[in-house]
Structures are given as C-alpha cells and as structure tokens.
Structure 1
Amino acid sequence: MPELVGIGVSPGRSAGPVFRLAPPPALPEVAPPVTDPDAEVAAARSALAGVAAALRARAASVSGAAAEVLETQAMMAADSTLATAVAARVARGSAAAWAITEAIAEQRETFAQLGGYFAERAADLADIGDRAVADLLGEPMPGLPSPGEPFVLTAEDLSPADTAVLDPADVLAIVTRRGGPTSHTAILARAMGLPAVVGCPDVVTLADATVVSVDGTTGQVTVIDPGEAAGIRERAAADRARLAALTGPGRTADGHPVPLLLNVGGAADLTDDAEGVGLFRTEFLFLGRTSAPTVAEQQAAYTELFAALGQRRVVVRTLDAGADKPLPYLGLAQEENPALGVRGLRVARANPTVLTDQLTAIAGAASATDAQVWVMAPMVATPAEAAGFAQAVRAAGLAVAGAMVEVPAAALHARRLLDHVDFVSIGTNDLSQYTLAADRMSSDLADLLDPWQPAVLDLVATCAAAGREAGKPVGVCGEAAGDPLLALVFVGLGVTSLSMSAPSVPAVRASLAGVTLERCAELARIAVDAPDARTARQAVAATI
C-alpha cells in the first residue's frame, strides 16, 4: 500500500477516511469601488473585532495551552497596528475585505522575515484574515469538515481556532502538509491525545474518503484497504485501555524511579494520578491584557494550582515572554531578530519589576499551601544569569531555584549553572531550534527540529552528566518527553524526570516499565551514534 512520511508529533495510531479542511473564502475577481472610505474602515474594524471576540469566546471554553494560544490570536486580531494598516489600504482605494487581505499579507511577510515566534504567528494572522473576510463577504467561516463519520483530518495547516475545538469523537487523527514539532497543531494534538503527523507534503495528494492509517509516533501515513480501519482502531483503543490501567509512579522495569510530571497552564490541566507538575506556564495570566496582572491576581491563580497539588512538586516557569511574544505593556523595544532578543529572563534587564512581582506572588502562594514549589527561569544563557536569578528567588523567600536549558551555551556550561541553581530543566523545543539554527515554523526544515537529532541528544547528555557530577536533578520539560521511545533515550542519557501533557503519561509510563535502566542506556547510545534523527528513531524502534 502507498506510504507517506512526515514527522510524528503526537503518539498513537488510528485509521479512517481522510477529509480535508475547507479552503478559506476567495475574494471576487473584481473589487468594488470605494465610495465611502469611512464606512469601509468601520466595516473592516467591526469584522476584526468580531473575530477577536469569537477567539476570546473559544479561549474561554478551553483551558491550558489551547486557551493561551487563542488568547494570543485574539490579541493579534484586536491589535491597533493591524487596524491602522487596514485603514491605510482603504485610503488607497481598497474595499474592506481587500484591505484586510492586503494588510494581513504585508504583516505575514514581516513576521516571516523576523523568524522565531513571529514566524509561528504568520499562520495565525492568515486565519484572522480569512475569518474577517468571510464575515465581510457573508460567507461561512473557515471550519472543519462534517462528513457524518469519524475521519482523519488533513490540511495545509491548522489554525489554533480550529485545532483547539476539535472533537476527538469525530477526528481520529491529524495530518498536515506544513508545520513542525513545535507548531500549534503539534502542541494541541498532544494535549488532546490525538495522533498527529505534520510536515507531510504528499498528504495533499490524497482524495477525500481515501482510507489511511496514521502513526503519530513514527510519522507514517499509509493508504490501506477500508476493511482494515476498524481493526486498527480497535487495537489502538485496546492499547489505550491497557495503558490507562497502568498506574503508579514512573519507573523502569528494574525499579529505577523516573517521576512523570505534567506540563500545565492551570489547575484544570491536572490529573488525579499526576506525580506533580514539571512545567507550570504562567503566560496565561499576562495575555489579553493592557497591563500586567497585579501581585494579588497572580497569587490567587498560583494558590489555586498549588492547593490542588497537595504536597506534590510544582515547577513554576517565570514569564516566558518578551519581544518574541509581544506584550505591549512590557515597554520593550522592537527588535530585528526577536528569537535572539529580549525574551524570558532577559525581560528583567529592562523591566525588573515583572520578575520581582511574580516571585513575590509565587512565594505568597507557596506559603499558603503545602506544595513543593520550585521556580525556574526561561532563556538562561550564562552562569551569571543563573546566579542572579537564584539570588532573586531566594530573596523572595523561595527555597528551590532552577534554570531552563534552551540554548546550547546553557547546555555546554550546565555544570557551571548548577553551581548556582538547584536543578535544570531542558526545553527541547527551543534547544532544537537554536542548536540546528532552524526556525520553528519552517516546514522545509522540520526534520532539523526533530528532538531525535543526535546533536540535541548530545547536549541533553552533557546536562545529565553535569547533574550527576553536582548531585542535582536534570529534567526534560519539552513535549519530546512525551514520546514513549525518546523517553527511554532521555532516561538512558541520565535525565531524572520527564514532564509532558497529561495524555502522554500512560504510554511513557508503560514504555519505561518494559525496560531496565541498563537497556535505556543502550538505547541512548544507539540514538546518539545515529547519523540523523530519522535513523535514530528507526534504530531505537527496531530494538524494542
């Protein structure tokens, strides 16, 4: 049977007929003349405001990463810069729908050139434009197909607004032509437990109703006989049930403990059997606002999560924002290359109050609850930065300070970082991007962003060795930790904990339980010695 290959970004397997996401509305070939520019501007602003309101409503109906993504997109739709650009286009003679299309295209080009997080947002801008144009033309909003049966969703790419509201009862799996391991499609598919493959160029050749099997671990999409689909789904369901029945802490077959923690955006993302939280993303408090949240607002939100955890561990990541995740009220200057600019901990250089207020709120919530509160800073690059952050954490009355390893400099000097902090946690998404110099939204370079890249694994090994020497924990909080095969490699390299979306935990728990620590070390050697990411994955899979 024909086989297509992409990048598996959300583990699991399913099968069914493919149906493609409906294309966005097309502008008529002839634009109407503009007889009342004020009316056109008003119509365009009304359409954009409607899109922003709809996105906020969707954000309110979901939680965690999905809510954060939609709130950010709503901010983009309501941004005054976009409204001003649309008005300028109307002044040049473009009707409302055309003015929005032209202004969006111009901003997308700018975002793509900026790279990094801005390049990721280019697809979000396109979706905003499509929705606003649909409103102005009186056309149906871009949306999901409704074939009347469960299906495999295929698309050029998926917008956050569509991905966040997928119903797993209808959508069996996702396959997109574009996107990479850190795209919104990947992040949200993992959060929902849907098998997903991205960066699969040949998926656009499949006609609607073609029946395929999708393996979100290996990235294989195979055209199959329609009669095989039900059996594949039944076996996948049986596997999920078997995995869900496995409970207890993460550990290898010979009893080596590996805490399996969660990546969360709030208390709603917790599960009863979670061993703790390895990444609490605090950005959700700062999005969709015109001013920073107060200490009291922050403390209330942190207290809710900490209290829900009881005495379990929670690792709080301080605000991971800046010029690459624009929050206008931070007062940061525009940069030519935001991915290499003022973001994460670096925001404190320009606006130290943001960090000190956040640490004060975290400390207040910690003192009011029994949770084991650890705090870590994103985008730490030097031992001096680690030392300064640790000092600030302890000055706030918090006992455990850590640093995220997201840039090669931090990995190479992990031992020096650990002279100052109590732990490090590896963010595989950014570490892959910076190590391979590959923009996170470049579909043509998606293979370089694969966390199986041996160069990235070498840096993980360097961090783990530093942790062993210092006698301090080294975790992985990137979503790569949720790959059941790669989790074995990380443990074999010496990683001491793994943090992931809740749906990924059962498969990782079962994977660890099936091998010894010594076997994990053997698998790690196989992966590191491989010439590339695909070979590494295939070689490890072949030995399990």
Structure 2
Amino acid sequence: MEITGTGIGQGVAIGPVVRMAEHLPEPVDRPSHLDPEREGERARASLSVVAAELAGRGAKAGGAAKDVLEAQAMMAEDPSLIDVITTRLAAGKTAERAVFEAFASYRDLLAGMGGYMAERAADLDDISQRVIAHLLKLPAPGVPDPGHPFILVARDLAPADTALLDLDQVQGLVTIDGGPTSHTAILAREKSIVAVVGAADAASLADGDTVIVDAARSLVVAVPTADEIAAAKARIAERAAQAAAPLAPGALADGTPVPLLANLGSADGAAEALRLGAEGVGLFRTEFLFLDADTAPSVREQQAQYTRLLTAFAGKKVVVRVLDAGADKPLAFLNDAPEENPALGLRGIRALRHSEVILREQLTALAAAGAATDAELWVMAPMVATVEETRYFTALAKELGIAVAGVMVETPSAALIADRVLAETDFASIGTNDLTQYTMAADRLLGTIAMLQNPWHPAVLRLIAEVGAAGAELGKPVGICGEAAADPLLAVVLVGLGATSLSMSPSALADVRASLARYSLDDAKALARAALAAEGAAEARTAADAAAAVISTQARETAS
C-alpha cells in the first residue's frame, strides 16, 4: 500500500514504525480550589520553565532550530497571552485549564489564517502541552526511545523534538499533519532527515509495521515486498556513495559549470554549508539583523556581521540581498502604515527607497566588510519591478563602494523586460518563490491555494526562460535562489532555461550536484522544452520525467 504526502528532500529509509504518543487529554473544566493569585503563580512559573527549556534546546541545536525554538520561548512568555490566562484565572479556572484555553484561542486564530500561519498553530499546541505537563508534574511530550533504529510516525512533530532527534535511531519521519512550510519540514530539510509530511493515511500505520519512506517520490510504502525493499536498499547505498565521494564543483555531464551555492539566513550556517560543498553563497538574507529590533542596527553592527560571513567564504562569491521587509516581514521603523494587501505594497526596494538612509547605511556596511575581506561580494536588491528601480539601486550601490550590484527578479514585470533590466545592472537572481506567487496571483502564505504555488508551472518557467535568454544575450549571470533550485530534476530544467548558478538550502546540494552530473547542456535544454510545452505544473514535471527517462535509456544503450 502506498501512502502519499509531501516528501522533504530526496532520501529513502526503511524500518519499523514507532508511533509517537498522542497529546495529553484536555484538562477538565472545573472550578479551582485555589485563589486566582496562587493559580497565576503556578501558571507563570510553568510558562517560565518551559520557555527556558525551549531556549536551552535551541542553543544546543543551533542553526534554524535555534531561531525556531527561541521564537517558541518568546511565545510562552508573550504578555498578551499571559493576559488571556489571567482573565480566565479570574473567572475561577485552574491554571491547567486557563493555559489550555488561552493557547487554544490563539491556535484557532492562526489556523483560520491558512497556509504558513496555520502551520505555526502546531507550535502553540506543543507549548501548551509542555506547560500543562509541567503543571501536572507529568513527563513532557517527546520522542519515544525503543532502543533500536525506527521510523517515527507522529501526528506532527514539535520543533523542540525535531531539533534534537537522534539521527542514529530515527531513520525516517512521517507526519500525518503538516505541510512543506511547517517547522517540522523546515528542520527536517536542514538536518537532512528522510521525511514525508502531511501523509494523512499514515494514521493507519501501527507500531512494528515495516515501511519504506521515499521522500523523493513523496510516498510511504506500507507492507513493502522483498523487491521493493531491495530496490530501496540499492538507492540508499547509491546515495551513501554519492555523499562519500570527494566534493566537486557543480557541473553538467559535458563539463558545463553550474556553481552550487547556499541560501543562508545568518553567518551561523557558514561552516555547515562549506562542509556540504557550497561553492559560495547565492542568497544571504540580512533580515535577521533587523526583525527583532526597534530601530535599524548601526553601520558598525551590520559591518561586524557581514565581515563574519565574508571571512568564512574567503575567495568565494557571496551574494547578499539587502533588507527585504514588508508583506509578511513588517518593520515599524521602515514602514508601519497599514496596507490592504502588503504583498503588493511598500516592500523590498520600494520600502528601502521610502527610507533611503537605511539602504545607504546597509550598503556602506557591506562595502566596508567587502573591503576588509577576500570574499567576492555581490549585492542585490529585492522586489525590483522596473528599469528605473534597477538603475536607481545599481547607481546607489556603486556610489557607496559596491563593485558588483544586481537585482532579484521576483515580479513578472522584471522578467518580461529582463533584457532592459539586465542592461542596467551586473546580474540577476531569480527568486522563484515570489515569482511563482505573483505570476499565479496565489498568496504563498494561503494554504487553500497552495496547489498554485508550484514553480513547475509553464507560465513561471516561461518567465524564467525570458530572463535566461536576456542574460545569455548580454553576457550577464542569471542565478536561481528560490526553493525551486533544491529540486534535483527542476534544477536541470532551470539550467536548460538559462540559469548559470543555483542556490539552495545546503542539505540539498548533494542531490542537485548528482542530478546535474547525469545530463549534458543539450539534455537540460531538452528537459526544459518538454516542461515548457506542458499545460500545467503536474504535466510539466511528468513531461520532464519522461524526457529524462528517454535520455537515461539512450545513455545506457550507448554505454553497452
């Protein structure tokens, strides 16, 4: 039996199922025998303990997990949440019940928003469970330890658990709920855990069942045959051999170079990215310096962080995106005016022009960091839509000492006039996440239309091809830095459309490197033509798969 979900990465795992225990039962709604003040002390103490535990787990895990768990710790002590708890305690409820109701109200609010925000609701459930367990002096929810390697099957997995999974024991992960943007998926991708999320039918799996978790095919195979197990073991061995092979620069089978770069959100991930074979950085997001601040960081503070990153990548290319705020990342000191549709409002380069001093300070800090290190610094502007915006940013960057300035192509307008945009700047980097959102008029945070958020759609691919053609004509580099570059087959198609470099989560580098090595440039162009000729996203992937199968067959016949 095959159970479908959303695969994270390209891995395969085999093992016996171990189910994660279900949540604690809902606390009984009964009057407290303590006064509200005493119950409040109990609630605040447990919230504080859980917040400290989450922050401690984050510090131990590092990377993206640290950011996620620190955010959870802040949720646990959010003043507005504590106010809701206090109101319920004043009505005579127990601390356990007040905590449950307060978190549930916030959870329902997020769930009703859909998409990315709905997937944050599971984080609130986890905090609530941990606080209630502490109040009741029960063990906190956690991953089972059967004493042998296993496949973990859970309703969903809390960030606190995902961050510290014992990867010698947990061979694979299957969640019944969740989606590709859930924290479970984000952390599984970062830690290279073989995972299939959102597999609703996995609820039927029982402890001890042998399953194959096939992330590449987004499948869980229950009760696999001997042949299926043998085939899965062969794929596991092939991937292990690829991982053990000496790291080499990204290239197609005919030797055409395709530099493989890392997407990073802070300098903390530099060492791991280099270990996994990153040839540089294709997208360094600078928002981490700004998002938790009441005012913009100083030039000196920024320069220190940029210098740290550039020093780690000495001699390599590092592409830095200037502050991309607005939409789902509002900043009070940049643009705090309410907007009906912030995704179409004052965001990216528009917001920076509105507060140019912030842009000037950031470019000044970057130029100073670049001058103090040996990295090859490239700097780009987000959300550029016009030639005039391109000309403005490029001129300002050069004025302030940036040697290589470029723009992100995330809007259909920039893609359609890519020849004129690239004539005014040094390079382009395509952000496929936003380009897909704006091409398909489908909010990337809205779960109800997630099926439209697919970069395989021929409309998106055609726009990418426009940028690739313009880059080739003008001799300007065209990179890809959206999640599309992490899809091994789509990566080949993107090169066939004219991409000259690919940037992705470091954990995806090995799979993409291996995929590129199977195809020549002519092959990549053939896959791109097949995908472009399709009617929709699913059909485009199927067409590319079919073209790839033909190429593989021809290669085997030639070899024999």
Q: TM-score, normalising length from structure 1?
A: 0.89
Letter in structure 2 aligned against 1:400: V
* Equivalent pair of 1:16/1:226 in contact (CA under 8 Å): no
Q: How does 1:157-196 map to 2 (within 5 A)?
A: 157-196=156-195
> What is the rounded CA distance, in whole Å, between the counterparts of 1:511 and 1:148 in structure 2?
36
| Residue 527 (structure 2) pairs with residue 523 (structure 1) | yes
**Secondary structure, counterpart of 2:221 in structure 1:** strand
1:404 and 2:403 aligned: no
Letter in 1 for 2:37: D
Q: Bigger relative contact order, structure 1 or 2, given CA contacts below 8 A and separation 6+?
A: 1
User: What displacement does 1:479 show?
Assistant: 2.8
How far apart, CA to CA, are the structure 2 residues paired with 1:407 and 1:109? Answer: 33
Q: Distance in 2 between matches of 1:41 and 1:336?
A: 39
Mark the structure with the bigger radius of gyration. 2
Partner of 2:70 in structure 1? 71
Matches of 1:196 and 1:292 in 2, distance apart? 38
Q: 1:384 to 1:202 in 2, by over 3 A?
A: farther
- For the 8 Å contact 1:117–1:324, the answer to whether it is kept is no
Distance 2:93 2:343 in 1: 34
The offset of 1:22, in angstroms, is: 2.9
Residues 508 and 452 from structure 1, CA distance in 2 versus in 1: closer, same or farther, beyond 3 angstroms?
Answer: same
Q: Secondary structure at the match of 1:314?
A: strand
Aligned-residue offset at 1:518? 0.7
- Unmatched segments (≥5 aa) in structure 1: none
Q: CA deviation at 1:339?
A: 4.7
Decide which moves more: 257-266 or 110-119. Answer: 110-119
The equivalent of 1:262 in structure 2 is 262
1:240 maps to 240
Distance 1:518 1:91, change over 3 A: same
The answer to whether the Cα contact below 8 Å between 1:244 and 1:506 also exists between their aligned partners in 2 is: no
Superposition pairs of residues 15-94 of structure 1, within 5 angstroms: 15-33=14-32, 35-94=34-93
Give the structure 2 partner of residue 146 of structure 1: 145
Deviates more, 1:109-118 or 1:361-370: 109-118
1:358 and 1:26, CA in 2 relative to 1: closer, same or farther beyond 3 A?
Answer: farther
Q: CA deviation at 1:532?
A: 3.6
Residue 274 of structure 2: aligned partner = 271
Aligned to 1:304: 308
Q: Structure 2 stretches of 5 or more lacking a match?
A: 553-560
Paired residue type of 2:240: R
The residue type equivalent to 2:273 in the other structure is: L
Per-residue CA deviations over 1:461-502 (Å, capped at 9, x if unaligned) read 233233234432221112331222111111111111111222
Report the AA paired with residue 406 of structure 2: G
Cα deviation 1:84-129 (Å, max 9, x = unaligned)? 3333333344433333332323333333455565444333333332
More displaced stretch, 44-53 vs 362-371: 44-53
In 1, Cα distance between the equivalents of 2:261 and 2:5? 28
* Deviation digits for residues 141-184 of structure 1 (CA, Å, limit 9, x no counterpart): 22222222222223333333222222322222222233333333
Query: Given the superposition, is the C-alpha separation of residues 443 and 476 from structure 1 closer, same or farther in structure 2, using an over 3 Å criterion?
Result: same
CA contact (8 A) 2:4 2:199 kept: yes
2:557 paired residue number: none
What is the SS of the residue equivalent to 2:206?
coil
CA distance in 2, matches of 1:251, 1:535: 27
- Give the match's secondary structure for 2:16: strand
Query: 1:314: how far off?
Result: 0.4
Distance verdict in 2 for CA 1:9–1:437, change over 3 Å? farther
Answer with 259-268 or 452-461: which moved more. 452-461
Judge conservation of contact 1:3–1:222 (CA < 8 Å) in 2.
yes
| Contact persistence 2:335–2:346 (CA under 8 A) | no
Shift of the 158–365 alpha-carbon distance from structure 1 to 2, 3 Å rule, reads same
Does residue 389 of the first structure (1) align with residue 393 of the second (2)? yes
Paired residues of 2:456 and 2:537 also in contact (CA < 8 A): yes
- Cα distance in 2 for partners of 1:349, 1:71 equals 32
The question of 1:6 aligning with 2:5 is answered yes
- What is the deviation of 1:329? 6.7
CA distance, structure 1, for counterparts of residue 48 and residue 153 of structure 2: 29
Matched, 1:537 2:541: yes
Determine helix, strand or coil for the equivalent of 1:174: strand
Q: Which amino acid aligns with 1:209?
A: G
Q: Alpha-carbon deviations, 1:235-288, whole Å to 9, x = none?
A: 414432234415321111112111111122323333154311111233334455
- Check the 8 A contact 1:34/1:40 in 2, yes or no: no
Deviates more, 1:298-307 or 1:231-240: 231-240
Residue number in structure 2 paired with 1:467: 471
Question: Residues 323 and 440 (structure 1 numbering): CA distance in 2 closer, same or farther, change over 3 Å?
Answer: closer
CA spacing shift, 1:335–1:475, aligned 2, 3 Å: same
Note if contact 2:307-2:373 (Cα within 8 Å) is conserved in structure 1.
Answer: yes
Inter-partner Cα distance in structure 2 for 1:136 and 1:333:
41
CA distance in 2, matches of 1:75, 1:50: 12
Q: TM-score, normalised by structure 2?
A: 0.87
Partner amino acid, structure 2, of 1:477: C
Aligned partners of 1:114 and 1:337 also within 8 Å: no
- Mean Cα deviation higher: 518-527 or 43-52: 43-52
Letter in 2 for 1:498: L
Q: How does 1:101-250 map to 2 (within 5 A)?
A: 101-114=100-113, 117-225=116-224, 229=229, 232-233=232-233, 235-250=235-250
**Aligned equivalents of 1:338 and 1:97: distance in 2?**
38
CA 1:305/1:40 → structure 2, altered by over 3 Å: closer, same or farther? same
Q: Which moved more, 1:443-452 or 1:50-59?
A: 443-452
The question of whether the paired residues in 1 share the 8 Å contact of 2:31 and 2:92 is answered with no
Against the structure 1 CA distance between its residues 5 and 536, is the aligned structure 2 distance closer, same or farther, given a 3 Å change threshold?
A: farther
Q: Which residue of 2 aligns with 1:499?
A: 503
In structure 2, C-alpha distance between the alignment counterparts of 1:81 and 1:169, rounded to whole Å: 40
Corresponding residue number in structure 1 for 2:556? none
Assess, with a 3 A threshold, how the Cα gap between structure 1 residues 132 and 290 changes in structure 2: closer, same or farther.
farther
Q: What SS does structure 2 have at the residue aligned with 1:65?
A: helix
Of all paired residues, the percent bearing the same amino acid is 53
Structure 2 CA distance, aligned partners of 1:236 and 1:21?
Answer: 25
> Hey, what does 1:486 align to over in structure 2?
490
CA distance in 2, matches of 1:336, 1:70: 31
CA positional deviation for 1:340: 4.8
Please give the alpha-carbon distance, in whole angstroms, between the structure 2 residues aligned to 1:34 and 1:332.
46
User: What is the CA–CA distance in structure 2 between the aligned matches of 1:133 and 1:409, rounded to whole Å?
Assistant: 51
Q: Is the partner of 1:208 in helix, strand or coil?
A: coil
- Cα deviation for residue 300 of structure 1 reads 1.7
TM-aligned CA distance change 1:522 to 1:144, over 3 Å: same
Q: How many pairs are equivalent?
A: 543
Q: In structure 2, the residue corresponding to 1:194 is in which secondary structure?
A: coil
Q: Secondary structure at the match of 2:384?
A: coil
Which residue type is aligned with residue 472 of structure 1?
Answer: K
SS of match in other structure, 1:248: coil
How many angstroms apart in 2 are the aligned matches of 1:117 and 1:383? 32
Bigger Cα displacement from structure 2, 108-117 vs 522-531: 108-117
Show CA shifts across 1:291-327 (max 9, x none): 5543323222221221121111001122344462366
Change (3 A) 1:254 1:484: same
| CA shift for structure 1 position 3 | 0.9
Using the TM superposition, name which of 339-348 and 57-66 deviates more: 339-348
Query: Deviation at 1:60?
Result: 1.9
CA distance in 2, matches of 1:345, 1:50: 42
How many Å separate the matches in 2 of 1:213 and 1:132? 35
| Amino acid corresponding to residue 256 of structure 2 in structure 1 | H
Deviations 1:41-95 (CA, angstroms, capped at 9, x unpaired): 3433333333332232222223333333333333333332322333333334443
